[in-house]
Amino acid sequence: MEPTPNAPADETALNAAFEAKIAAGDSIEPKDWMPERYRKQLTRMMSQHAHSEIVGMLPEGNWITRAPSLRRKMSLIAKVQDEAGHGLYIYCGTETLGVDRFDLYNQLLDGSAKYSSIFNYPTLSWADMGVIGWLVDGAAIVNQTVLAKTSYGPYARAMVRICKEENFHKRQGYEICATLAAGTPAQREMLQDAVNRFWWPALMMFGPSDKDSPNSAELLRWRVKRKTNDELRQRFVNLTVPQAQAIGITLPDPDLRYNEATKNWDFGEIDWAEFFEVIKGNGPCNKERLAARNKAHDDGRWVREAATAYAEKQAKKRQTEAA
């Protein structure tokens, strides 16, 4: 890459060293010099990702009290708790870029930050718990396995651990789907309905098509992204079609067919108008999700105040002891 125009001589050298590291496939670490634009892009992407994990607890949290058995309830609680952990883990990673998580979190609460479009759809039946694990976590794994090789070290390392947990999530979801698929006609119908509602939004998780993805070129050049949105979406479709066939479920796309020449499953046109409406804040549950996060934040105020008061008290005590 060309050095930033008008950059001071030392910055030009720093930039060259940064680009050389990227070209060599080395990790960029928090103490390394990095262009402000790289820092900004990583902050944007990682904070959106952390917000997605936190908002992503809501659709499934909705079903914890209604899980059909103790075993299902335990798995679902564990999964939702994992998502909270992923959020905290990625907020920590984002803080290594010099930002404060409370500032980032406030952007989520005031609606100025994005989070994944998928969590703006309602969870209407128990089958949705299976389908979210299978398709939503399945899509997340495809995206995040590649992000585990991203150029920013803290993000890459976070992804390694998160992907392990997402694999458990996907398996518990697929197992719910397989059980319902082998169940009564009503259970099969409930599952098919859930797949019909979540299939297209799951494909949208990978972001706009490459030609409409303003951030991709820069992120690919810096090896933050290692594959394009469309490449990952195609990989997800290729992996998922045989899984649907194995449990006898139909994916709601009449244009879905295997292409012998490319060895890919070709699929129909995504409703991009719907996608852009959802990310603008006009999806079926955007307002409800933000209201739930704001309520949780307000309800937790006393905990933050108590923790701050305790920390101040401890600090004073240490000062007195040291004097």
Binding site for ligand FAQ (CB under 6 A): 44-45, 48-49, 52-53, 56, 83, 114, 116-117, 132, 136-137, 140, 143, 204-208, 213-216, 219, 229, 279
Residues 4 and 234: their CA atoms lie apart, in Å, by 35
Nearer to ligand FAQ, 154 or 208 (CB): 208
Nearer to ligand FAQ, 21 or 225 (CB): 225
State which residue has the least CB distance to ligand FAQ: 56
Residue 199 beta carbon to ligand FAQ: minimum distance, rounded to whole angstroms: 14
* Cross-strand partners of 258: 265
Residue 296 beta carbon to ligand FAQ: minimum distance, rounded to whole angstroms: 16
Residue 8 beta carbon to ligand FAQ: minimum distance, rounded to whole angstroms: 29
Residues 52 and 275: their CA atoms lie apart, in Å, by 16
User: CB–CB of 114/51 below 8 Å?
Assistant: yes
Nearer to ligand FAQ, 48 or 192 (CB): 48
Residue 40 beta carbon to ligand FAQ: minimum distance, rounded to whole angstroms: 10
Residue 259 beta carbon to ligand FAQ: minimum distance, rounded to whole angstroms: 24
157 burial type by CB count under 10 A (0-12 exposed, 13-18 middle, 19+ buried): middle
Residues with Cβ within 8 Å of residue 42, at least 6 apart in sequence: 94, 97, 152, 155, 224
Sign of the Cα torsion 150, 171, 119, 90 reads: negative
**Burial annotation 44-75 (CB, 10 A radius, 16+ → b, else e):** bbbbbbbbbbbbbbbbbbbbbeebeeeebeeb
Nearer to ligand FAQ, 83 or 253 (CB): 83
Helices (H), 25-152: 36-55, 57-61, 70-95, 101-109, 127-131, 137-147
Structure tokens at 121: 């759809």
User: CB–CB of 198/135 below 8 Å?
Assistant: yes
Residue 137 beta carbon to ligand FAQ: minimum distance, rounded to whole angstroms: 5
Nearer to ligand FAQ, 11 or 218 (CB): 218
Nearer to ligand FAQ, 21 or 51 (CB): 51
